[in-house]
Structure 1
Amino acid sequence: MRDFDYHPDEPDVRVFGVPESGVLVRTDEMYLGQTREPVVGEPTAAHLVLRHYAFADEWFKLNATFDVDGDLIETGAIGEMFAVNCDVSTPLTWVGADATAVDLFLDVLVSADGSYRVIDRPEFEEACSRELISTAEAEHAEAGLTRLLHWVTTGRLQDLLADVPGHVASQAPAPLPFSRAPMSDVPAVAPYARSTW
């Protein structure tokens, strides 16, 4: 399947391909997929499992990293490591078998111990001032951030991540090649035309 991820400050749409064997949940309400990715800077044999969660009724999506045994792990530079990258975004919208969402710039990086930091507030404010996202989307982004932080601080995020049995990580396939699509191919995320605008 394809996961279309539009960043409004880019001219085209990011396309992440996930083999069917990597799709763990595909319902009207949720998408959960996983792929096995090489660890940057490590020998070619070193891999991690990237698990992506998107929701039809939430204004955020999650990208969590696990080892091949299914244990949550941190990645990133020393002093800036995190286990879950939470993107404030428009809710999951299905177009046929393809998932779509629009990134709304705000991010929350969550460590394995549950501590977190909110990043990219200046980028969000600039996107609002440049009208890259609508006033309604900006309001929903702020509410989505509040709801996301509630998930983090109450343990709901950690419970969600623990729902998938550990052995499932070892079954993660390699991703399909990354690509980009012109906006005309993904009208569901187009400015002014998308349902959340």
Structure 2
Amino acid sequence: MSEEIIAFHNLHLPNEVRVFQIPRENIRVWDDNYMVYDVKMKDSLGNDFIFRHYSFYDKWFEVNITLDESGKLITERGPIDWSYNCDICTPCFSTGTELYNLDLELDILVNQDGQNYIVIDEDDFENVVNQGLLSDDERIGARKGLESLIELIESGNLQPYLESVCSFTDLIRLSDTIPHQILQLSDVPLIDATKRRRLYGKRTQL
């Protein structure tokens, strides 16, 4: 029997859909509130590390982190030294093994302490708004998502919240780097603007 694959569709406006093929065994948590997966990767020196992704059915953001094999956060350099890459996005929705969300351009990078942060790509967000590529609900949701995420960070609860969903040291059952492909929006009609806004936050079993 072939291994079940979960297809995660991430729309980057205006038309690029990035599809990540995630083996079921890499899924850490998947219920009506969260979807978390891990991927084993290698750095430039050939050392293994773990990429972890947190998606939410009820929040307008997602979080990516990298961990060493003991579950310790890895820090990367950028506008600040950061360990959390938080994307403002729509709540995810799913049908069977197909999962979807829309990247809303705004991003927050957060230091390893979980409290020092910087908001980036605000110009990109304003560009998609000015081009009329977002609905009013998506535009408002993005700002609310940014506010709620900043509140979570400034309260010192970012790491405790993520660990309550899935502990950083829970790193079993890992596969190698997952494949992905690039599709056009026309290839994925379910995430078209006329359909997606009615589906955010919903999880439908086939």
Query: TM-score, normalized by length of structure 1?
Result: 0.89
Does the alignment pair 1:84 with 2:100?
no
C-alpha displacement at 1:124, in angstroms? 0.4
- Aligned residue in 1 for 2:10: 5
Q: How do 1:97-176 residues align onto structure 2 when only pairs under 5 Å count?
A: 97-114=97-114, 115-163=116-164, 164-169=166-171, 171-176=173-178
C-alpha displacement at 1:37, in angstroms? 1.7
Does the alignment pair 1:18 with 2:22?
yes
Give the direction of change, closer, same or farther, for the CA distance of 1:54–1:181 in structure 2 (3 Å limit).
same
- Aligned residue in 1 for 2:59: 58
Pick the aligned partner of 2:195 from 185, 193, 196: 193
Give identity over the alignment, percent. 30
- Aligned residue in 2 for 1:184: 186
Runs of 5+ consecutive residues of structure 1 not aligned to the other structure: none
- Aligned residue in 2 for 1:32: 36
Distance in 2 of aligned mates of 1:170 and 1:28: 22
Distance in 1 of aligned mates of 2:147 and 2:34: 20
- Contact between 1:18 and 1:175, CA under 8 Å: does it hold in 2? no
- Aligned residue in 1 for 2:73: 72
- Contact between 1:17 and 1:178, CA under 8 Å: does it hold in 2? yes
Letter in 1 for 2:34: M
Pick the aligned partner of 1:43 from 40, 45, 57: 45
| Secondary structure, aligned partner of 2:8 | strand
- Contact between 2:72 and 2:169, CA under 8 Å: does it hold in 1? no
Runs of 4+ in structure 1 off by over 4 angstroms are none
Runs of 5+ consecutive residues of structure 2 not aligned to the other structure: 1-5, 201-206
Distance in 2 of aligned mates of 1:165 and 1:58: 19
CA root-mean-square deviation: 1.9
C-alpha displacement at 1:171, in angstroms? 3.7
Q: How many residues align structurally? A: 192
- Aligned residue in 1 for 2:204: none
| Secondary structure, aligned partner of 1:18 | strand
Query: TM-score, normalized by length of structure 2?
Result: 0.85
- Contact between 2:80 and 2:109, CA under 8 Å: does it hold in 1? no
